[in-house]
Structure 1
Amino acid sequence: MRRVKVWTPILLLLGGAFVGAQLLRPLPEPKFVAAEPVHALDGQFSIPWPAQGQGAVRVPGSGDIGTFGEQKPVPTASVAKVMTAYVILKGHPLRGKADAGPSIEVDAKAVADGTAESESRIEGLTAGTKFSQQDMLKMLMIPSGNNVARLLARWDAGTNDETAFVAKMNAAAAELGMKDTVYTDPSGLDAATVSTAVDQLKLAEAVMKDEAFRAVVAMPNATVKGLPKPIYNNNDSLLTAAGLSIRGIKTGSSTPAGGTLMWAAYKSVGDETPLVLGTMMDQHADGPDPDGRDSLVLVKENSRKVIEAVRAALAASPAVRKGQTVGYLDDGLGGRTPLVATKDLNVIGVPGQRMRLSLGAGAGAVPHAATDGAEVGVLTVGDGDGAKSVPVAVRGDLAEPSFGTRLTRLR
């Protein structure tokens, strides 16, 4: 009895401390769990890919539409200049399409490079002449001036060579997740500058957010004060094609690369006009093809077929219906509360397209308790900028874990 009298208060004290500690422990943060990771739009769609090479198509916000070919690094040719423009605008941003930017002086090296007959270049430059950054971008992107690419690289780095700038290009590629891309020069003339269609699509999506860039690459031609003649876009046949709404981006061609193309197009769907981006690489015409001239024609024609088909198939489709169960809220202690969409959600895509689904808290914190019908988060369909979301609410009351659950929890 003496032992009982001694140990009982101690055990009661320890038990009380345990209970108190369990009840005072912070509750786990509730986690959103989607019912399915992807949603496939109704129907089927087949992209008319060519027989060789590689390519990719994407609608920013909606997600990837399709890819083809082995995504192995291949020479980019002048499509590399898109990264050159991206790095220049990242380091020296222009405030929209009306901003001319700083003046850049032509050096003797750019003049000498303008006489090289074996590559695309801007001819007629004079050392000491100054052009605005905007006009330099036009000379870079419209007629694909290799000498201007190198000049911009030297100007940005403040050195007499392009090494430091090329390092920036590779750093930007890594930042964008372009894992299979290596830049060795700012123009793409070097066959060691390699990438994949999927990687280049990541760059296309990033650079098309820049208004100044969009304005330049949409030009079939331009007159630049200080140049002896107008400059013409190597992609003019697609930029001026009726009914395709193509607004860029860059062609490339060489013997090692064949024909390459990064393109941007638009399609009005109801009251929306989504951007459609695509890349096609490693297109080689049959027979002798000096500097890839015939391959350039081939890649543009093959890309046209893809653009026409994707634009024709692009439409608004239902992804989520009001009241549909889209997942649940896990309280971390075994409790699950169903989540339902609070309204219909239509998305823009092609038949059969698989779109990513994700549940999240939205702007506010996730509650541990809520009444039936309370909005507690959002369901996002698609990925990237422009992805669409719909609020989700709990179906039934969301209650905090019970006394017994909190008392017996092990985690």
Structure 2
Amino acid sequence: MYKLAVAAIFTLLFVYEPAFATGASTGESAGAGRPARHTVKKARVKRKDLAQAIADENRERMVRRIEMVHGKRKVVYHRVRRAAPEVFSRSAGDLAGLGLTQDPLALKSNVAFVLDQGSSEVLFEKNANVALPIASITKLMTGLVVVQANQDMDEVLTITDADVDRLKFTGSRLRVGARMTRRDLLHIALMSSENRAAAALGRNYPGGITAFVQAMNDKARELGMDDTRYVDSSGLSSENVSSARDLAKLVAVAHQEALLREFTTDPNSVVAASGKPMRFNNTNYLVAQPDWNIGLQKTGFINEAGRCLVMQAMIHGRNVIMVFLDSKGKMSRTADAGRMRRWLEALNPANLVEPAADAATAAVSAVTGSSAAHAAEPVPAVATEAPAAH
């Protein structure tokens, strides 16, 4: 009898336990329903908080920097507000309407200029007289001023807090306090577009950065670069402006300096920072391509300038200077260089013929006897975000 009673109790427990569990899980009982609804409510609040956090992150962020205060290193945080994507995507050339200019080669650059280095014949031209931000193309003038000033290339310079970028908040592998020779700083400024290196070069010029920028502008005037203005040695400011025609003059003069030719075309190099070896790579992968014969080059990019590229190269037995400004897309400037090279290779140097143009490019015409192909140039004023220098 006792065994039968125990068996009956266990049977009742197995029968009612699933029903109780089902009721609790579906919220059928009043007691179980409230906690379930409360849990869902809390989960929704968490998702809402997460969405808000993501939105806040998109609006602003904190940037960690190390500054020197009274001779001691101090960690500080700067709040940086991010601009709207549509503002970032529009360059000064876009704002000036240069994107409306069509050309026979369908280049992705708003500005293009190609010159025969030997004869000074203009082979291709598109918006070449418009002054625009030039980003790190600026460093080519920085290198020219340093080399022609005959400063001691073996002098050891120190990266200081003054060399840290507080305009664009770009990063750098060169820490504050790093010690390098002027030669190595010039090397990575030209080859890898190192901003702190370029800043240190200008700061260590006789008279400091103010005198250095003045020397840059004086050299520009000397070379007849009337559309050009410099305000820093790195190109981070959008107020460093020039036209493609002016930059072709700069490339021609810079190409005469052996050190500039070497440093701008090295695919990579190891330099010493405070005795520690560091490898840097070239920002232009074309210098390592066996089918290119590049004598000098420099790349540049900030949002206001777009992707920029200047080069001196041997193409089909001819030395040419190519300038591409305000290109859209990370690989577009080098792709434009490839398009231009293929066009030049297809031409007979003794009798250049303009590439075929459709109705949309009817304004493009060949200049008889000049061996030149010109793309129609609009003459809108450069937007105030990127003031031209005259």
Separation of aligned partners in 2, 1:307 and 1:78: 23
Q: Secondary structure at the match of 1:153?
A: helix
8 Å Cα contact 2:123/2:371 also seen in 1 = no
In structure 2, list runs of 5 or more residues that go unmatched.
1-102, 353-365, 373-390
The counterpart of 1:87, out of the listed 145, 158, 163, is 145
The counterpart of 1:129, out of the listed 159, 179, 182, is 179
- Which residue number corresponds to residue 233 of structure 1? 282
TM-score between both structures, scaled by the size of structure 1: 0.56
Shift in alpha-carbon separation, 1:261–1:212, aligned structure 2, 3 A: same
1:156-179 superposed Cα distances (whole Å, 9 cap, x missing partner):
1343xx221111111111111111
Shift in alpha-carbon separation, 1:117–1:170, aligned structure 2, 3 A: closer
Shift in alpha-carbon separation, 1:49–1:247, aligned structure 2, 3 A: farther
8 Å Cα contact 1:120/1:144 also seen in 2 = no
- Which residue number corresponds to residue 243 of structure 2? 196
Residue 313 (structure 2) pairs with residue 265 (structure 1): yes
What residue identity is the alignment partner of 1:280?
F
In structure 1, list runs of 5 or more residues that go unmatched.
1-45, 94-99, 285-294, 319-349, 357-411
Q: Secondary structure at the match of 2:278?
A: coil
Q: Secondary structure at the match of 1:156?
A: coil
Separation of aligned partners in 2, 1:106 and 1:219: 24
- Which residue number corresponds to residue 219 of structure 1? 266
Separation of aligned partners in 2, 1:134 and 1:67: 36
TM-superposed CA distance for 1:243, in Å, is: 1.6
Identity, % of aligned pairs? 25
Separation of aligned partners in 1, 2:171 and 2:222: 29
- Which residue number corresponds to residue 243 of structure 1? 291
1:224-261 superposed Cα distances (whole Å, 9 cap, x missing partner):
1335431011102x112232223431111111111110
Q: Secondary structure at the match of 1:157?
A: coil
TM-superposed CA distance for 1:316, in Å, is: 5.6
TM-superposed CA distance for 1:283, in Å, is: 1.6
8 Å Cα contact 1:120/1:143 also seen in 2 = no
1:65-116 superposed Cα distances (whole Å, 9 cap, x missing partner):
22112521111011110111111111127xxxxxx83313114236x62799
Separation of aligned partners in 1, 2:315 and 2:171: 32
The counterpart of 1:299, out of the listed 319, 329, 333, is 333
What residue identity is the alignment partner of 1:129?
R
Shift in alpha-carbon separation, 1:266–1:179, aligned structure 2, 3 A: same
- Which residue number corresponds to residue 304 of structure 2? 256
Name the structure where helix makes up a greater proportion of residues. Answer: 2
Separation of aligned partners in 2, 1:107 and 1:240: 30
The counterpart of 1:108, out of the listed 151, 160, 164, is 160
Shift in alpha-carbon separation, 1:124–1:180, aligned structure 2, 3 A: closer
8 Å Cα contact 2:255/2:295 also seen in 1 = no
Between Structure 1 and Structure 2, how many residues are aligned?
A: 254
Residue 176 (structure 2) pairs with residue 118 (structure 1): no
- Which residue number corresponds to residue 211 of structure 2? 164
Shift in alpha-carbon separation, 1:51–1:153, aligned structure 2, 3 A: closer
Structure 2 counterparts to residues 49-64 of structure 1, below 5 A: 50=107, 53-63=110-120, 64=122
Structure 1 segments of 4+ aligned residues over 3 angstroms from their partners = 114-118, 314-318, 350-353
Larger Rg: 2
